[in-house]
Amino acid sequence: MKLLIADKLEDQALQALRALPGLEVVAQPGISKDALPDAMAGVGILIVRGKQVSAAVFERADALQLVVRAGAGVNTIDVKAASARGVFVANCPGKNAIAVAELAIGLMLALDRRLPDAVASLRAGRWEKGEYGKADGLHGKALGVAGLGAIGREVLLRGRALGLRGHVHSRSLTAEGAAELGVTRHDSLRSLAAASDILSLHLPMTAATRGAVNAEVLGALPARAMLINTARAEVVDHAALAELVRTRGLRVGLDVLPGEPEAASASYSHELLALPGVIATPHVGASTAQAQLAIADEAVRIVASFLKAGEVPNCVNVAVTPPAHCQLVTRHLDRVGVLASLLGVIKQHGINVGEMQNRQFEGGAAATAIIRLGSAPPAACIDELRRVPDVLHIEVVML
């Protein structure tokens, strides 16, 4: 099987992939997103980091079975197009959590101590201790965390070490969970913002979160509060943010920005970057050697599992419970053609199979197949199934 790596991957991971039997590894880290569809002929597995995988990739790929995003999110991949073509999409969640959390905390400290400005002043030959000796300090402040995934939890942990008081808004957080974590739970982003001296965003990019940190939420932040975004630029209304920086002195630390260039080296500008109290980094949250190696190792694990066991860890586009009305449980002798005969009868009656599992018993004489069906089989179908040679028993369970 041919595997195409369309972004830079660590040498250790490349060696591990090339060591997998039956795999032809082709590395083209410099390929552009526009050229990617033309490179898909014969490719069975595609690994990307930040490169966009459009619908055209899936339309042109004649052999593609698996796309691995060597990172946490899959917003750069047309998952709907992948699902329509029966292609697995997997990611590497949580592997960069510590790296992103470290940057989020670093941005908080840099804003409080005005580190970028202080360094620039000293490099320019000015000793302005009186100016840059003014800082609030973080101890005792309220840290609001929006989104309690792996990164949000790591930020809370590090914030606690700095003496910050935790406040959280997350759909998955219950009152009991908040008590266990020792944080205050909020039912809305606006409520969280109003309670936060520092609001750190760790929301995934979805239709529900796009623009969720809007003028109302930002306006609820106390004057001179900090907003930290190391998640996705699209969750924030940047025009409203710029206005509140000007009028209320909000301090802002960003690692994600609107309209980021695709190239690793390019020119970029945005009105926020010219405002006092705003610092930013060029989307480098996950860019530590530790994080990149962990992500690469996870990508290798996913590929190896797919090749050896047919299983796709961290798959994001397979239904957890496929739509089904009933379940057909079959005990049968483990002989050639039994399952094919069963499926042939089901097909003749126009019934769709949603999911199937066949397991052998010790000794290899018998097996049991569990087949989830889109509609209940009529009595005639069940009778035919029971007459299939080597079938021991048929049971229909309505779901």
User: Of 69, 153, 165, 232, which one is the catalytic site residue?
Assistant: 232
Do 247 and 221 form a contact (C-beta atoms < 8 A)?
A: no
Active site residue 260: yes
Active-site residue, from 283, 301, 325, 331: 283
Measure Cα distances from 173 to 149, 181, 386 in Å. Answer: 10, 10, 49
The rounded distance, in Å, linking the Cα atoms of 165 and 102 is: 17
From 59, 243, 260, 271, the catalytic residue: 260
**Is residue 232 flagged as an active site residue?**
yes
Tell me the β-bridge partners of 162. none
Partnered with residue 254 across adjacent β-strands are: 229, 280
Q: What is the distance between the alpha carbons of residues 150 and 293, in angstroms, rounded to a whole number?
A: 17
User: Hey, how many other C-beta atoms are within 10 angstroms of the C-beta on 269?
Assistant: 9
Buried b (16+ CB within 10 A) or exposed e, 274-301: eeebbbbbebebbebeebbebbbbbbbb
CA angle 184, 190, 195 (to 5 degrees): 40
CA–CA distance, 292 with 300 (Å, rounded to integer): 12
Pairing mode, strands 66-69 and 184-185: unpaired
Give the span between the Cα atoms of 389 and 385, in whole angstroms. Answer: 9
Tokens of 143: 């840290």
Catalytic site includes residue 283: yes
Q: Which positions are annotated as active-site residues?
A: 232, 260, 283
